Structure 1
């Protein structure tokens, strides 16, 4: 018998040995997969004469050769267009190494496609659905390991959660550890606006200026500066709608521009979009978890056979070793992952997904554990990412492919150099610890990149990442500090803001696209004169001295123009139970694409945000409005104190404010007075909730601070993530 690279699985349990039906059913699926793989690869096939006879497949199943699932995604997501090629290469190599390859795929929702429609209520739930489906298939077909083609949005951490969970279940049953590796889809190059469209858009901007709509002209030119991607299309859409409303362009012209921009957005072979959204944040995070082989971490094209071979050959040293079980690798690397997520400006979505992965892996973990790790040592901002200056994630991938950067290994190294305590002696799927990986110093330092550095050696700022907020009317919320440039952070930090309350995202979007929104607020005096003066005195006393005798209209206009008036746009009723916790990307994009509102408004919501969202975006608020959270008691005209650097937002007693006192109080009396209003709102939430299919509503789950996972998952999560770890095969260590 020919010796193979992979050892047999050391496990008394082998359903294929003990039950003939598996050996009768599955050999044809394996042979079919390998036949298709050879056909797909054509002249690039690297191997001898096919030897995958049904008899040989039968014998491998009988002997308990490693049964390895290739887990792909659905080809209706751009990240998975080329899965057929990657899975073909993986299947051939698994067979050559003595394993038995299988293939299945999961549905993968594209958050961009689902954005601003009912589909977004299914996005977060799809993470748990993916986890369930993957667990079902791995357990039903008794697979030992997985090669995961990592895509975008909720799929990556859904699969991480599933594999960590299967590994934990297998270990609890005394079976062999479940091993896996992730191969992220290549990075999709951002699109380019066609030259003739640039000329036409510039003509439109000049027309807007001529007609007195300088704000539309400014916002249009600002949006044109970005690489073309699905998120910038939304920004264009918002500007076009404002221009249409003011008679600057026709609906036909709007649709013409929309079409020309849309078809120029994506490259034909797909990939993960070039912005640092949830897709690429997940790429960095999963790499930080030790689950990505460096050969395939950051590519500009689908991986070659040589790269796939390097990934799959590493399994030889991982199979049967408990320290390489998925749940152990995730927990052993959790501090590394959180620090890489922070330093690279990762998505707020991952604040829930990190917690989810740990809970599915059997470890007690919450948002507060994540926050403690984040703030146990300062984590500098080492990621100079830009969508307007040639430093997107595609640029980083090009640097990695050219050999001048090593991606997350470079970031890991630079964090150490900046004094951040990284866990270097923990296992990774390269079959080496981080320390062993960093011993190879070629192209390791950030200074090796001469032009358009994305990863830095000298920090942009001494702090980074997503902060967890507390307040007197809620328990937890998050804000992406790394998504706020320092001048913008200064604009909103330690400021009093009027609340502008919306019961749902649809109402907020309509209002934020209304070019007369501020005029309406002023005309209805939704923010009373005396409170405008009181907030101005706190926010900018020099301006208060200048304007204290102004009329209401003069005061309002000056505060809006100077940015001294702050507005907290409250979008409630968007939590997991109420509406599936959709992303508030679109309303935040409408604010960011409006030069006036951008300096005035923040959003506070019990919903989520897109990974590409930037600006003063506060979300994940718990408890959610549907569950009686304080956000549901707010109403337009209330005042909150934004204290972002102190990581707090507090409700202000307006009567005390008028006396010159800043009193943080969210009184029981106020809640009693507004209880009937809250109940009316909940009834409307219940009606709106029926827009989401009952089968996919998120009842029986934890809240956003606890990962939004099924209650059964958190009940079984009893391990200590700092103590119950294997770093060396013979020792459980306390890190």
Structure 2
């Protein structure tokens, strides 16, 4: 049993008075001290319900015999930050979150930690902190939001549908009144976005890693089941402290492999690649090894679950279909069942004991013999345009454009690109190249989903493609490749592309090629130069320290 009540030991008794200054009693300090890392704020829909989640977690900690102490950390919403300079801060916030939790937990000698989050960079940032700390940790997310009503060909509208509608307006296919009305109806509740984007992908991956209790990742935010799961999480963290089941016993190379297998089977966000690399880095595992594993498993694991935007089934449907446990049961023979989880039991035990609340949906979650797609959910792309890899998502790309050849039209920022789209300058056959948006060049590696959604709204989803050294959201559709490394700011080949160059994208065979002679590229490189942006504060530090996307965008 793990020793608790450290502030009652002779070594730390001198610190006890300050703890009592925070209204903690001798009895409180004799119990396991559980840090509650709460990313609540009033601006982000995925986080404005987390005060209630935290209260139920604290109730559970008390019930389990521990003492909860809550503290806050930041949380940025990609949907609010996208399309402007705020997007530069989103990926850097991940490392800030990991740092802040590490600092708080180390400085105050927490016995255990509950991580409360929901959205894109917050969940991986918290998992990175758990990997660093190697104390008992559990992550509980705030749940997905409910979907809006139908809009044109979209069965269940979400926040990204507004961007598509804006593209329709620019093409004369919708009115501004319709776009404005959609902003009111598309997000009817708190929670992470309704689709299988980065937020829900990373919440599900936390469960697949064994860091969240079974069946909790996909519970919608408004459901009472979410609160019961929060209370159970509070009880369970005290048990983990007593049994000394630390994050280091849960987060391992094997558990990451389980998460990769799950990712392939469900077609999650491409951003999961950069986050899994970063989590591995914190565990002392080479991100290159993770990239190779993702590439390997993508050729073996078919997509057996199909969630919006790849289908009309949203995250609430996925919850009713059985969520993560239902998928992992279908994958059971391929997984490392002996991995420890926060239940205090192995993954195999969890799957054997799990009781589903609702009937199976055999169309949403299929078996390995009847997949939605034989291609894995994520594709690692290579070629002379991406020597150190790029990332795509076959399940999010229509079969008509999984192999695409077109002419480059180049933009040196997201703003230049979206302006050109709004002016209807993108035509069928174009490969839209958005560069200098990588970790160093952006800096911060902004998401380019706005460009692809606008093109979708203009009816160009199947006749154009988008490639970038930036990132994409899980809501992307059309032919796209992101995370191109080396990035333009590092002199990668993407910096040398010129308007009119022929580019071929072959998602099936994982090839990204620029059809320009080597002699011509050498000539272009001789005249190429790069002047870094004048930066200050956090972005200056990030641009100086950030590694490339294929290395997880971590800080050196």
TM-score with structure 2 setting the length: 0.91
Structure 1: gaps spanning 5 or more residues: 1-6, 32-53, 168-177, 199-220, 400-404, 519-559, 561-565, 654-664, 712-735
Tell me the residue number matched to 1:228.
157
The reply on whether 1:671 has 2:516 as its aligned counterpart is: no
For 1:289 and 1:187, the matched residues in 2 are separated by 19
For 1:15 and 1:678, the matched residues in 2 are separated by 64
For 1:260 and 1:15, the matched residues in 2 are separated by 59
The reply on whether 1:67 has 2:33 as its aligned counterpart is: yes
Alignment deviations for residues 46-99 of structure 1 (CA, whole Å, 9 cap, x no partner): xxxxxxxx23224x1xxxx32111111132211122222221122122123221
1:702 to 538, 547, 551: 547
Deviation larger for 635-644 or 281-290? 635-644
For 2:209 and 2:424, the matched residues in 1 are separated by 45
Tell me the residue number matched to 2:70.
103
Tell me the residue number matched to 2:148.
191
For 1:93 and 1:101, the matched residues in 2 are separated by 9
Tell me the residue number matched to 2:275.
353
What is the CA-CA distance between 1:449 and the residue it aligns to? 2.2
Deviation larger for 569-578 or 496-505? 496-505
Give yes or no for contact 1:333–1:426 (8 Å, CA) kept in 2: yes
Shift of the 369–297 alpha-carbon distance from structure 1 to 2, 3 Å rule, reads same
Tell me the residue number matched to 1:661.
none
TM-score with structure 1 setting the length: 0.70
Which secondary structure does the structure 1 equivalent of 2:334 belong to?
A: coil
Shift of the 503–121 alpha-carbon distance from structure 1 to 2, 3 Å rule, reads same
Which secondary structure does the structure 1 equivalent of 2:483 belong to?
A: strand
Give yes or no for contact 1:30–1:102 (8 Å, CA) kept in 2: no
What is the CA-CA distance between 1:569 and the residue it aligns to? 1.2
Q: CA RMSD of the aligned region, Å?
A: 2.6
Give yes or no for contact 1:512–1:590 (8 Å, CA) kept in 2: yes
Give yes or no for contact 1:16–1:23 (8 Å, CA) kept in 2: no
Where is the helix percentage greater, Structure 1 or Structure 2?
1
Which secondary structure does the structure 1 equivalent of 2:329 belong to?
A: helix
Tell me the residue number matched to 2:371.
459
For 1:96 and 1:10, the matched residues in 2 are separated by 16
What is the CA-CA distance between 1:473 and the residue it aligns to? 3.5
Which secondary structure does the structure 1 equivalent of 2:241 belong to?
A: coil
Alignment deviations for residues 266-286 of structure 1 (CA, whole Å, 9 cap, x no partner): 234x11121111111111111
Which secondary structure does the structure 2 equivalent of 1:497 belong to?
A: strand
1:26 to 11, 15, 19: 19
The reply on whether 1:242 has 2:171 as its aligned counterpart is: yes
Shift of the 21–78 alpha-carbon distance from structure 1 to 2, 3 Å rule, reads farther
1:409 to 312, 318, 325: 325
Shift of the 696–593 alpha-carbon distance from structure 1 to 2, 3 Å rule, reads farther
The reply on whether 1:488 has 2:401 as its aligned counterpart is: yes
Alignment deviations for residues 481-530 of structure 1 (CA, whole Å, 9 cap, x no partner): 111132332xxx1x432111111111111112223544xxxxxxxxxxxx
Deviation larger for 22-31 or 286-295? 22-31
What is the CA-CA distance between 1:703 and the residue it aligns to? 0.9
Say how many residue pairs are matched. 547
For 1:453 and 1:378, the matched residues in 2 are separated by 21
Shift of the 316–504 alpha-carbon distance from structure 1 to 2, 3 Å rule, reads closer
1:544-623 superposed matches below 5 A = 560=428, 566-579=429-442, 580-595=444-459, 597-623=460-486
Give yes or no for contact 1:226–1:388 (8 Å, CA) kept in 2: no
Structure 2: gaps spanning 5 or more residues: none
The reply on whether 1:142 has 2:109 as its aligned counterpart is: yes
Give yes or no for contact 1:86–1:303 (8 Å, CA) kept in 2: no
Structure label with greater radius of gyration = 1
Tell me the residue number matched to 1:328.
249
Tell me the residue number matched to 2:138.
181
The reply on whether 1:127 has 2:94 as its aligned counterpart is: yes
Shift of the 569–423 alpha-carbon distance from structure 1 to 2, 3 Å rule, reads same
What is the CA-CA distance between 1:678 and the residue it aligns to? 2.1
For 2:537 and 2:480, the matched residues in 1 are separated by 25
The reply on whether 1:430 has 2:343 as its aligned counterpart is: yes
